[in-house]
Chains A and B, each alone.
Chain A
Amino acid sequence: MAIWKDMPTATVAKPDERAPARAAIRPGQGTSATADAPAAVELQRVSRLYGSFVALREITLKLAAGSSVVMLGENGAGKSTLLKVIAGLQSPSYGQVTVFGEEPRDQRGTVAYMSHATMLYDELTGMENLTYFAGLHGGSVPSGGSRRAHLRERAAHALTEVGLDPANTRRVGEYSQGMRQRASLARVLLSEPDLLLLDEPFSNLDVGSAHSMITRLLAYVAEPAQSGLARTLLLTTHQAELAQPLARSTLTLSGGRLVALLETGKAAASRTSAPMQTGAD
């Protein structure tokens, strides 16, 4: 564990010290990416204000494609806002955000975002929800096959992978918290995004479920993305030790500032794609 060389300190936002406020997280040696790999996410002096409350304060950050980053920080540190800004759900008050070199909103479909809200319809079953979202994400339908059957197959596959039964006729609104979170993860992975943004994915999960979710995420990130680049993962959590296997880098926010950026070792060693208990990869 080594502190990054030109790591920005808590004084990042002081106007007279703007120049060195820039850091790059490079992927581990395990991936094909070189030092100047294309950036998956690049933020330049991004600030976000809600009225007079500063959620993000002059954040400059570059995540190379293939990085796997865990974001830490207490409540109100700006973690969720940062994820939303990167997803393009909120625009920064000041500064520039690019995702794979473009505006976040031009990258719809390649970015997936998971938050406390399930982003699923409570009145539909897990299978109905996932089939619906599979239909929206499109993708190629094998010629000859029925489109509807293909979508159902994809949805069933996504559900099985997170350990949910596609034949379950309970509606998502009646799911337990843990099941909802898994269904939510299935929705996120369904579109095969190149960039995964997860906001507190392990909260309300018991340790076993959290571990299987982590296993699934490790497997997912290990596969190459459609674009040929390595898949990128950025997640926030309170349970730092739990997310350890995913943390090739750790990023700490405090009071809307980027206060620490650590390379936490070569998680790549443990990145063997182990299937979840209930499903095969």
Chain B
Amino acid sequence: MNYAQHVLTHLRKDLRLEWRTKDSINGMLFFALLVVVVLAMAFDPASFPSMTRQISGGLLWVALLFAAMTALNQSWARETNNSVLDAHRLSAAPASALFIGKALANFLFVTAVEVVLAPIFTVFYNLQPLGQTWKLLVILPLGTWALVVNGTFFAALSLRTRNRETLLPLVLLPITMPALLAMIQATTAVLTGEFEPTLWIKVLVAYVIIFTTACVLLFQTVLSAD
């Protein structure tokens, strides 16, 4: 039984649970859609195409961030419902595999939301990117993983606190600020075509590597606490 098999076992379980309940994806999708609509009312994107290109990257990520937050708070509820988490804490399987499995599941959920949201966003905001659009295929997954890996970790951390729903955004937002900056900048670079996103993609890669490592190393500590 190796590590990858453990990760796959957890991932398969999370996907199956989501398939049966559809708790996260439906909520996230609708929430993201609402944020996009509300922001459209605030900025009137259709009339000012160049301004829209400037701010769309930020708007898209803000919508995704808030949507992901609703799902992240729920993602550990599955484990705490019947105290399944206690079974995990007593299991000999590596704790970080549980974490990676869940982070991957959340990553897939948020990616699914992006796949649906991206065309809607383009249509609603009358968006015509001027840069190399294919680079978004690198930026979106990297940015999503950066949000999700820390989000999953801090959601687990806030299980041990009072008012955990409030706590997650309070912790997640400051910690992901550099990643948010990088993904917004990179997306804006692609949409406006005014500068190269390369530097920001590098920042994202560095951020993702550093924080994934930190999460994996510290997860056992968080899980085994009372």
Contact = CB atoms under 8 A, between A and B. Distances in A.
Nearest to B93: A136
Contact of B5 (A115, A122, A135, A139): A135
12 contacts: A89-B90, A109-B90, A109-B92, A117-B82, A120-B84, A121-B78, A122-B81, A132-B9, A135-B6, A136-B91, A139-B1, A191-B91
B24 to A, nearest CB: 13
Contact of A119 (B20, B82, B92): B82
B83 A119 contact: yes
A87 B91 CA distance: 11
A137 interface: yes
A214 interface: no
Contacts of A122: 81-82
Contacts of A87: 86, 90
Contact of A123 (B1, B5, B17, B226): B17
Contacts of B93: 136-138
B137 to A, nearest CB: 33
Contacts, number: 82
A244 to B, nearest CB: 28
Contacts of A264: none
Contacts of B92: 108-110, 136-138, 191
A109 B93 CA distance: 8
Nearest to A109: B92
A89 B17 contact: no
A72 B70 CA distance: 44
Interface of B: 1, 5-6, 9, 13, 16-17, 20-21, 78, 81-84, 86-93, 224, 226
Interface residues of A, number: 34
B97 to A, nearest CB: 9
Contact of B90 (A108, A123, A128, A132): A108
Given A119-B83, A121-B78, A89 B91 contact: no
A124 interface: yes
B87 A187 contact: yes
Interface string A123-147: 1100010001101111101000001
A124 B82 CA distance: 12
A51 to B, nearest CB: 13
B13 A119 contact: no
A136 B86 CA distance: 14
- By Cβ-Cβ distance, the 9 closest A-B pairs, closest first, are A109-B92, A138-B1, A117-B83, A119-B87, A135-B9, A136-B93, A123-B20, A117-B82, A118-B82
Contacts of B224: 88, 105
Interface in A122-180: 122-124, 128, 132-133, 135-139, 141, 147, 171
A113 B78 CA distance: 19
A151 to B, nearest CB: 9
A87 B224 CA distance: 11
Given A90-B226, A91-B226, A119-B84, A137 B17 contact: no
A191 B21 CA distance: 28
A136 B92 CA distance: 8
A136 B81 contact: no
Contacts of A187: 87
A245 B163 CA distance: 45
Contacts of B6: 135-136
Contacts of B89: 88-89, 108
